[in-house]
Chains A and B, each alone.
Chain A
Amino acid sequence: MLRVDITKQLGEFSLEASFESQGRVTGLFGASGAGKTSLINIIAGLLRPDRGTIALDGDVLDDTSTRIHVPPHRRRIGYVFQDARLFPHLDVRQNLDYGRRMNRLAEDPAQHTRVTELLDIGHLLDRRPGQLSGGERQRVALGRALLSKPRLLLLDEPLGSLDESRKVEILPYLVRLRDEGIPMVYVSHDAAELRQLATQIVMLQRGRVTALGGVKVLT
């Protein structure tokens, strides 16, 4: 379970969010500029809240009153960025293996095979990120985050930088990913996308949570 109760001032913009999510896929819905990315950056530990707490499965990750701030690399929270952010100096295989190495996890060939099959990236392993299409890059980024065995997966508009036909190409993979059972927070401004993927919705407007509940709140 993810529990968020924070405030953060970013220049003129103020973010004040409080919610709990039990759902397997929490859809963070809102227009651009609503504070969605700032909010998941706080959950990932890339931004520090001015005040408040973040807890995951009872584990406190941020608590400003007791000055707790677990750095991103100790949170075991995977993050799929809108722009993939694959390491350009590593090939796809090394990109996929990066999280396992950094977390000093044992090799897990079964998991590796399952993820590469799930995302259909087995034939790309020897390529460099510069030789991939946008959709392929995003699938590798998904695989890379998954293989670090996170407790929670954050996805920041993973389809945002893709055109319509590419979106249709990736969406089924995301549905498969959801059925893998790793809890996810999925950020999007696209209600249709969230209706397909999310089990619970947090609606964000100008830095405030304006609605909580099932996908029905998207109507």
Chain B
Amino acid sequence: MSEISPAEWTAILLSVRVAVIATLVATPFGIALAWLLARRDFWGKAVVDAAIHLPLVLPPVVTGYLLLLTFGRRGLVGAWLADHLGIVFAFRWTGAALACGVMSFPLLVRPIRLSIEAIDRRLEQAAGTLGAAPWRVFATVTLPLALPGVLAGMVLGFAKAIGEFGATITFVSNIPGETQTISSAIYSLIQTPDGDTAAARLVIISIVIAMGALIASEWFARRALRRLHGN
């Protein structure tokens, strides 16, 4: 187990950047959807719920291929974004972040939704009688009480994003320095003669990151309980 090589460092830092951006961008959408699913009844709710969970059950290669069809250079959304906003996903690290965001979305939404469902709605009613308009009730009561759940969802989503492989490699390939994350680096290394030691180093690093995320997530969940009891 010698030193981590520069190429491995590149993959590690890229993975972290991709996962951080994916999580930060996905979180506001995750909170909005979690709130809708927890607190509103609307037509097509079951479909929305299923669609969010789809990346969890679909083969990742299918999700990656669908992303390629939609967000690739010639994809419907991809072409429009490239022409009008100059945002390109195909074979860029941004595409890796998109793939990771989509794949980790169900894991991000679930704890947020559960924590919103656990909030006593009578507290929100009380806030209303004290003069708080609905959006201020959300900002001052619902969101702060759900915050530990939001953080837990972010940690879980981050852990999933940093380990994502199938959808990422299908959508943006495996380009060192641009789209080669830890997972795709491990994949390349185990197909290379003498790559075993380097692969083992990266494997250990991913285990450490995943364990850290799970422990942090558990800690946030316990804090959520305490917070709801007001101690």
Question: A residues near B, CB below 8 A?
Answer: 44-46, 71-79, 81, 83, 85-89, 98-99, 102-103, 128-131, 144-145, 148
Residues of chain B lying within 8 A (CB to CB) of residue A71: 128, 133
Is A102 touching B131 in the complex (CB atoms < 8 A)? Answer: yes
How many residues of B are in contact with the other chain, CB < 8 A? 24
B145 at interface by CB-CB < 8 Å? yes
Q: How far is the CB of A162 from chain B (nearest CB, A)?
A: 18
Partner of B230, one of A45, A76, A128: A128
B127 at interface by CB-CB < 8 Å? yes
Residues of chain A lying within 8 A (CB to CB) of residue B203: none
Question: B residues near A, CB below 8 A?
Answer: 120, 122-123, 125-134, 136-137, 140-141, 144-145, 227-231
Q: How far is the CB of B224 from chain A (nearest CB, A)?
A: 11
Is A79 touching B230 in the complex (CB atoms < 8 A)? Answer: no
Q: Given A99-B130, A99-B131, 4 more contacts at CB 8 Å?
A: A75-B129, A87-B126, A89-B144, A130-B230
Complex alpha-carbon distance, A85 and B124, angstroms: 9
Residues of chain A lying within 8 A (CB to CB) of residue B120: 85
Q: How many A-B residue pairs have CB under 8 A?
A: 78
Question: What are 12 A-B contacts defined by CB distance under 8 Å?
Answer: A45-B128, A71-B128, A73-B134, A73-B137, A74-B131, A89-B145, A98-B140, A99-B130, A102-B140, A103-B130, A103-B131, A145-B130
Q: How far is the CB of A42 from chain B (nearest CB, A)?
A: 13
Is A148 touching B130 in the complex (CB atoms < 8 A)? Answer: yes
A83-B122, A102-B136 known; A46+B230 contact, CB < 8 A: no
Q: How far is the CB of A211 from chain B (nearest CB, A)?
A: 28
Complex alpha-carbon distance, A102 and B123, angstroms: 15
A72-B125, A81-B122, A87-B141 known; A102+B130 contact, CB < 8 A: yes
Determine the residue in chain A with the shortest Cβ distance to B125: A46
Is A128 touching B128 in the complex (CB atoms < 8 A)? Answer: no
Q: How far is the CB of B145 from chain A (nearest CB, A)?
A: 6
Is B227 touching A88 in the complex (CB atoms < 8 A)? Answer: yes
Residues of chain A lying within 8 A (CB to CB) of residue B133: 71, 73, 102
